[in-house]
Amino acid sequence: MEFISDREQYINLSTRKRDGSFIDTPVWFAQAGDGNCFYVFALQKSGKVKRIRNFPDVKIASCSYSGKLTGEWIETSAALVNEAETVQRAYGYLRRKYGLKFRIGDFFSWIIGNYHRRQIIKLRIKEHD
């Protein structure tokens, strides 16, 4: 099985549409815990969040900033996180990983009014027999 390392900067998050097709989106991520858990953030009203509400089974793969795959697809399950403690922990992981870039993004998100409209997505690698 291919593993994703926290040293990588982007993963491609592939979410399913109602018609069965998939939309791939390169996103920042932070790995947590035992290496089978990842956190991603997005705007609450974004397409990927809406698709995850309908279909929590998603795929991830390491990729470049433009979305070009650099690894194999891994099946994961996605959950929208709303518990304050988990949200703060996830932001902590992301801030540590991306440092100043993430803080600049936070600042501009706050300026344009999207800071409190963000959604944390927790991804967990599916165990296969």
Residue-wise pLDDT for 50-86, tens only, equals 999 999 999 999 999 999 999 999 999 999 999 999 9
The structure tokens listed for 21 are 């097709």
110 found inside a domain: yes
Q: For residue 120, what is the domain's CATH number?
A: 2.30.110.10
Give the total number of structural domains in the chain.
1
Calculate mean pLDDT across residues 123-129: 82
- Measured CA to CA, the distance from residue 15 to residue 49 in angstroms comes to 9
97 found inside a domain: yes
19 found inside a domain: yes
- Measured CA to CA, the distance from residue 33 to residue 37 in angstroms comes to 6
pLDDT band at residue 15 using 50, 70 and 90 as cut-offs: very high
Residue-wise pLDDT for 81-124, tens only, equals 999 999 999 999 999 999 999 989 888 888 988 888 889 999 99
4 found inside a domain: no
- Measured CA to CA, the distance from residue 15 to residue 8 in angstroms comes to 20
103 found inside a domain: yes
- Measured CA to CA, the distance from residue 114 to residue 129 in angstroms comes to 41
1 found inside a domain: no
Per the CB < 8 A criterion, the answer to whether 41 and 119 are in contact is yes
